[in-house]
Amino acid sequence: MRTESTRWLRFWLSGLLTLACLGQAQAAGEYELKAAFLYNFALFTEWPGAPATMKFCVLGHDPFGKAISPLSQKSVHGVTVQVTHIESAAEARSCQVLFIASSEHPNVPAIFEQLRDEPVLTVAESNGFDRKMVMIVMVSANNRVGFDISQSAAQQAGLKLSSQLLKLARQVQ
């Protein structure tokens, strides 16, 4: 059943994916916008000490595609942005910004645990996890992309988020 269901799921998923792909194709701007947001979040964040690198890490299934590559031409606080894809949370420790793709959402608590005191700005999209464990959660609604902030998580990690950023957040916990 499980297999069958998986099949069906896969079928549906593939269909969904197709749809999603279609949707992605239709709303190609959404991830470009989110990529830009990702970069913007970095701009409004202060890391303890001056980080020598500015690694933007994508954990899990990359939803951005090519939309994220323009970031590598930019810099944050004078440091050139590097975009990398990582497989495990352990790798995330050397990252300054970690995007947790939806595929990894179930691992959020673990990731949170693992990076509890690490100055890594964690960003995710959508729902389905404890909001306190991800510093910034981007939410699409009404054709707009908003975000929620977990101030406590950021503070725990020693990151300082700009008040302006906080002001723009839909929710600050």
Partner 1 sequence: MMIRGWFRSQSLHRKLLLTNLLATALAFLLGLLIISLGVWQEGHQRAELDGLTRARVIADNSAAGLMFQDKDSVAATLDVLRVDGRVLFAAVYDRDGKLFVGLGASQPAIEPPGKLAMTAAEARFSGGYLDVWAPVSIKGESSGMLLIREDMSALYLHIARLVGIVLLSSLISGGLATLLVYRMLQRVISPLSGLSLLMQQVSQKGDYSSRAEVSSRDEVGELAESFNLMLDQIERNNIALSCELNQRRDAEIKLDRLAHYDNVTQLTNRHYFEHRLHTLLREMSTRGERAALMFIDLDNFKDVNDTYGHHIGDQLLRTVGARMAQSLRSEDEVSRLGGDEFAVLLTRISELAQVEVVASKILKLIAQPVFIEGHEIFVGVSIGTVMLPDDTIDFNCALRYADMAMYHAKHLGRNNHQFYRRELSEEQGQRLLLESNLRRALERDEFEVFFQPIHSLAEGRALLGAEALIRWRHPELGLVPPADFIPMAEESGLIVRIGEWVLRTACQEAMRWQGVGASGKYFVAVNLSPCQLADAELIARVKSALSDSGLPPELLELELTESVLADQSEGSVQKLIQTAEMGVQLVLDDFGTGYSSLSYLKHFPITKLKIDRSFVSELPDDLDDRSICEAIVGLSKSLQVTVLAEGIETLEQAELLQRIGCQEAQGFYFNRPMPAEAFRQLLGQDGNG
Please state the closest distance from residue 123 (CB atom) to partner 1, in A: 13
User: 96 or 111: whose CB is closer to partner 1?
Assistant: 96
Could you tell me the smallest distance in angstroms from the CB atom of residue 138 to partner 1?
A: 10
- Cα 11 to its chain centre, rounded Å, is 27
- Tell me the torsion sign for CA atoms 34, 36, 39, 40: negative
- Of 81 and 108, the one with the shorter C-beta distance to partner 1 is 81
Nearer to partner 1, 159 or 165 (CB): 165
Q: Closer CB to partner 1, residue 110 or residue 166?
A: 166
Q: Which residues bind partner 1 (CB under 8 A)?
A: 33, 36-37, 40, 43-44, 74, 76-77, 144-145, 147, 162, 164-165, 167-168
- Least Å distance, CB 43 to partner 1, is 5
* Closest to 129 (Cα-Cα) out of 146, 109, 99: 109
What's the DSSP call for residue 118? S
In the complex, minimum distance from the CB of residue 71 to partner 1, in angstroms, rounded to a whole number: 12
- Do 135 and 113 meet the contact criterion of CB atoms below 8 Å apart? no
Tell me whether residue 40 or residue 151 sits nearer to partner 1 (CB atom). Answer: 40
Measured CA distances, 63 to 53, 60, 114, 118, 151 (Å): 23, 9, 23, 24, 25
Closest approach, Cβ 75 to partner 1, in A, equals: 9
H-only helix segments in the chain: 2-26, 28-43, 108-114, 151-157, 163-168
